[in-house]
Amino acid sequence: MPEHQLKDFRAKFRTMPLIFVPNGEMSGWCTTAECLWSSGAKIHGRTTLSSIYEDLEDFFVEKLGVQRLTLTMACDELLKKGHGGPSDTVAKVKETISAINTLLQSTTSYPDPGPLLKSAIFPIEYPTGKVLLETASTQFVIRDRKPLAEMFASKVKFLDFTLDEVHELGNYFSWLGLDSRYISSSVKEISTVAGDSQLRLRHPDRDIKRRASGIYRVASHFNSPRVDNTLNLYHTLRATEVYETHGISSEVHLAQDGKAHIHVKASSELHIRDTAGCLQIYVPVDKERQDFCYHSSLPRRLLEWVMTEPETQICGAIQHRAISAMSSALNAPIESVSQILEAEGIIDVGGIGNDQDEDSEGGADAVALAPPFESPRREGFVAEMPMRFFSSTGSCSVSGPIVPPLSQGINTPVTPEGSGRYRLRPDLDVGATTSTPATPVHQFGQTPKASTAAISPRDDGFNAEYLRILSNVIFAARRRSFPESGSPRAGQSAGGSSTQVSHMQSWMPPARDKKIGAAGELFAYELLSHLTPPLPGFCMDDWRSTMREFVAVHPAYSYVTPWEGQETADIVYNDKFGVLTEILIDKGYLQRTKWIGKRPQYLIEVKTTPGAATRPFYVSKNQYNRMRDYTNASSSSRGFSTIYMLLRVFNVSTSDIDFNVYVDPFALQQDGALIFTENTWQVVPAQANKIAGQR
């Protein structure tokens, strides 16, 4: 159709009600100005057409000019609800907020959030349980950590969203500049050590003295205010004492509306005392709790001390990369620390010794009483500093193999960028804003009610190893992208990796196979959460595996609850904006002519092994039938295209974690790229040059 005729055509539909909208007995006719193609929320005065004419998107959008929902439209609708009457329920407001959050993930131009902050569009849950719509001037906190939310339930006002909803709405909260409202950013923990049962650290590899040079390198690299030409910090670290104790307790403080709310914790995991330049660190005696302390709280809290100016006691900006490097300095094998820090880009420093060459002054046999306390009291650095807990509800880049790298976007405030427009700042250093996220108060590895003598050493070892695996999985997944079709990755198959795999299998209880499977699913979830460009709307609700609950032991995923719905695939994602489809087209998995502009549903099954990619994996009969049902992008009864995809995650117990992609595995079986063994449902990949072909 010529352009001038198309303009006339559009004008008629814009001014004349020529679009039929069936709505039971209230069916009618609309103009294009009264319609939207799709929307995540009910927009006043607009009718959504996608559910009525789902196969005619090109006609309505490209030919007739029907609009898709825009961020400005959604914001205007939310403003109307903020000034509306009783008919504007909390549910309607939440629906519109969800639509805005989705649009924020796919836009590059952000309107000024100021008007929304002044509108009554915040559903606030009062201690009485009543929920009212209020403005941002009302004091409230956002529940981003389950333990903290439980501590202050029925005591303070919360934004009325669940943990999963908060995780999903990270971009929305960042855009509004509500990072300081997270409960993890709002609390302060004051720790105390009491009693006279402190013992010197029994594990020489964890002695700070023996790791002083690595810690000093991290401090120097990130411009610690304690670093000077005198090497005083290095000498302080060389003199630091670490004690084990049962006597760590703490108080968690939260202030709201001028009132202080205090929760007393009889048992906590870390206390740092800095007295006249003498550093003393207290950690739990219990091995499992101590493992969690060294991998979770200690890297962050020690880095805070390193980055605090001694005179003013002001903590400087803390980068996630710095936490990662500090964790490496604290937890990597001593003989490997220098090499690992070099690989992470941490500068070398002259004039200090090598940790590997330094002898520990308090070896494995040196168990002595710590200096006695005059009385149980709050003291030291921790009493002055807010807790640090890096939220996992958004997406933030982190480097480093062990510390939980956390998501980017949630702890990143919005900054002006000319003429009233705003942008998100995913690269902002933690600590560069007025408020900083806090450390978890969750008591990892809490002593069970049963006698500790009944705990198997193999189970205890697996728990610590599993935390390491999950941390490495997160680190690796955020640095991976989809491989090119026809170029499957093999990873390491010999040497250190195979040794590590066999060692892990030698002590890993058979019942823990599900945890390894969950680690692979976490890899897939992290991978999909950090693609470039990001997947709009992808969130925890899309991870629909019953095994996901196992990753809740990791501090970055402590909010995860079991999936309670029907499981059809490990991850189910509706590609409403075609972003994932475009990625798969670019990588050669899907034919461009067939799939450009399509928005299918993806059923993603994850298969995990601690070993090499060549190992066989297994599918259930139901999974095989589902592969067959959805081969060649078969349509469901509702007419939606569905693509079945296998992600093969391998080397999950090593530092060489990677994955391969099998789009439409049933078709790959027909092509000979995947070899299925009947009856056992065992699957092995064929030669690399056969794993090709577009779907």
* Burial class, 239, CB count within 10 angstroms (exposed 0-12 / middle 13-18 / buried 19+): middle
Residues 6+ apart with CB under 8 A from 659: 480, 489, 523, 524, 527, 647, 648, 649, 650
The full set of domain ranges for the chain reads 3-69, 93-187+392-437, 188-385, 457-690
Which tokens sit at 392? 């996992």
Spatial distance between the Cα atoms of 405 and 397, rounded to a whole number of angstroms: 7
| % of the chain at pLDDT higher than 90 | 27
Spatial distance between the Cα atoms of 237 and 215, rounded to a whole number of angstroms: 8
- Residue 107 CB neighbour total at 10 angstroms: 16
pTM value surpassing 0.75: no
The three state secondary structure string of 404-470 is CCCEECCCCCEEECCCCCEEECCCCCECCCCCCCECCCCCCCCCCCCCHHHCCHHHHHHHHHHHHHH
Spatial distance between the Cα atoms of 46 and 68, rounded to a whole number of angstroms: 11
pLDDT, the chain, mean: 75
Report pLDDT digits (tens) over 304-342.
899 988 876 777 777 888 999 999 999 999 999 999 999
Q: For residue 268, is pLDDT > 60?
A: yes
Which whole number is the average pLDDT over 481-485? 91
Spatial distance between the Cα atoms of 224 and 316, rounded to a whole number of angstroms: 8
Q: For residue 678, is pLDDT > 90?
A: no
- The edge-to-edge listing of strands for the beta sheet with 674-677 is 617-618, 682-685, 674-677
The three state secondary structure string of 511-566 is HHHHHHHHHHHHHHHHHHHCCCCCCCCCCHHHECCHHHHHHHHCHHHCCCCCCCCC
**b/e per residue, 344-369, with b = 16+ CB within 10 A?**
bebeebeebeebeebebebeeeeeee
Q: Measured between alpha carbons, how far is residue 162 from residues 143, 560, 635 in Å?
A: 7, 11, 34
Q: For residue 455, is pLDDT > 70?
A: no
Report pLDDT digits (tens) over 509-545.
444 678 999 999 999 999 999 998 889 889 888 999 9
Check residue 675 and give its pLDDT: 81
Check residue 156 and give its pLDDT: 95
Q: For residue 84, is pLDDT > 80?
A: no
- Range with the poorest average pLDDT among 384-393, 576-585, 669-678: 384-393
- Range with the poorest average pLDDT among 39-43, 121-125, 397-401, 564-568: 397-401
Which whole number is the average pLDDT over 69-80? 81
Spatial distance between the Cα atoms of 690 and 256, rounded to a whole number of angstroms: 63
Check residue 58 and give its pLDDT: 79
Spatial distance between the Cα atoms of 164 and 168, rounded to a whole number of angstroms: 6
Q: At what angle do helices 457-477 and 513-529 cross, to 10 degrees?
A: 20
Spatial distance between the Cα atoms of 490 and 660, rounded to a whole number of angstroms: 9
Spatial distance between the Cα atoms of 267 and 249, rounded to a whole number of angstroms: 5
Check residue 55 and give its pLDDT: 79
For strands 241-245 and 199-200, give the pairing: antiparallel
Confidence of residue 452 (pLDDT cuts 50, 70, 90): very low
Q: For residue 653, is pLDDT > 60?
A: yes
